[in-house]
Amino acid sequence: MNPISWLHCLRGVVGRELLRFLHQRSRFLAALVRPLIWLFVFATGFRMALGVAMTAPYQTYILYEVYIVPGLVAMIQLFNGMQSSLSMVYDREMGSMRVLLVSPFPRWYLLICKLLASTLVSMVQVYVFLAIAWVYGIKAPPLGYLYILPALLMTGFMVGALGLLLSTFVRQLENFAGVMNFVIFPMFFLSSALYPLWRIREGSYLVYQIASLNPFTYAVETIRFALYERFNGEAALISVAVTLVLLALAILGYNPSRGMLARKGRGGD
């Protein structure tokens, strides 16, 4: 197969996912409603929790919103990654995944194409959310909107690979929806997405330790630093390492000769 064939495969997989996204407008709206509620409603109470007075100047008044925006960006990618994996379980039940995986291209390449497509969808959602936040008055430095691209790509692959890995263990669509909630909420709330780690440490050292071990924390910090034109080398390195490990495990899980699919007698799905 020549490079054009590989590009054609990539275009086909990504194009299919983007078309599915365009046809599912409710999915797009749901992805935005959740972080916007956190931004516009719940942030009021969180400001008080951080000790920001409601009578403070406007610049101080939106300090918490400025902090929480990167965490909500990561939330969008987390939910989208799990949603995309849910669609893969559905495709597997319907048989369309079988058609994709029996193509002459390697499974690792097909899975990476799926992850890239899912990540691109989440990035569209992220930039729409950032545009709404900008209209609301929460503005990052102009170059920050460009600097977060690598961080968004990495985070999208991380949560997408995690979802793929989980999908190798779950056979029924209904069961995967429950597993999603079991994974999403601890990952999000036990991270620095809503509160800085130093504030978590003041409240509970145990929760601080858990948040420090949570790889999602470092994805959030990578996005947060990048959005404000800074680079957190430690967070970026840990995030990339976790992404590579999860991606390798997900690819192994979909390998019919080694993964969980083979053990369950469903290698062709």
- In the numeric block, the tokens 């291209």 are attached to 105
- What is the per-residue pLDDT across 141-184, written as a single tens digit (0 to 9) for each? 899 999 999 999 999 999 988 888 887 777 666 666 677 778 88
pLDDT-based confidence at 211, cuts 50/70/90? very high
Q: What is the pTM of this model?
A: 0.82
What is the spatial distance between Cα 200 and Cα 56, in angstroms, rounded to a whole number? 23
- What is the per-residue pLDDT across 228-242, written as a single tens digit (0 to 9) for each? 889 999 999 999 999
What is the spatial distance between Cα 249 and Cα 99, in angstroms, rounded to a whole number? 22
Q: Percentage of the chain surpassing pLDDT 90? A: 26
Least reliable range by pLDDT among 34-48, 106-120, 183-197: 34-48
Supply the pLDDT for residue 31: 72
What is the spatial distance between Cα 169 and Cα 38, in angstroms, rounded to a whole number? 32
What is the spatial distance between Cα 217 and Cα 207, in angstroms, rounded to a whole number? 12
- What is the per-residue pLDDT across 85-94, written as a single tens digit (0 to 9) for each? 777 766 666 6
